[in-house]
Amino acid sequence: ARLWTGFIPTNEAMEKAIAEGIIPEKYPKDSDAKDSVNNWIMYHFVKDDVIFDDGLKSGNYTTNYSFRNEEGENTAATVLITNEKDNLIIQDMTQGTVQLNPEKANYLVRKGVCHKIDTVFKIYE
């Protein structure tokens, strides 16, 4: 049984991401564009770990998104989590940071936890 942590953008965060061109307004029909959107979605899930905003776990965590690095190797994308009690900050691949609002944290789900985030993660600038 796999454990996971989901960082799920709020509706407002999604609207902002669409307005900024981070994601398309509608799910694309083109397969490359679909793969891009699917990868972006998978990047919001840390696999094999449950992380609460309790100050206990910090560090680099593997997400469900993998890509080919410059050497052509399949590489799991990570997020850097800095976790102090009621103050969890996630840094994405672009060095952008998302601060978790403690009022939107720690929703228990099957085999994991879900957090609502007010800003989406970015895979590239």
What is the per-residue pLDDT across 95-109, written as a single tens digit (0 to 9) for each? Answer: 999 999 999 999 999
What stretch of H or E contains 40? helix 31-42
* CA angle, 51 then 17 then 87, to 5°: 30
What is the mean pLDDT of the segment spanning 36-46? 95
For residue 125, what pLDDT is reported? 74
Dump pLDDT digits (tens) for 69-105: 889 999 999 999 999 999 999 999 999 999 999 999 9
Separation of alpha carbons 82 and 60, rounded Å:
9
Q: Are strands 4-9 and 112-117 parallel, antiparallel or unpaired?
A: parallel
Give the confidence band of 124 by pLDDT, cuts at 50, 70, 90.
Answer: confident
Of 65, 77, 81, which Cα lies nearest the Cα of 113?
81
Q: What is the mean pLDDT of residues 50-70?
A: 95
Residue 1 scores a pLDDT above 80 = no
Shortest CA distance to 59 belongs to which of 91, 14, 20?
Answer: 91
SS3 120: coil
HSE-CB at 78 with a 13 A cutoff on CA atoms is 9
Residue 5 burial by Cβ neighbours in a 10 Å radius (0-12, 13-18, 19+): buried
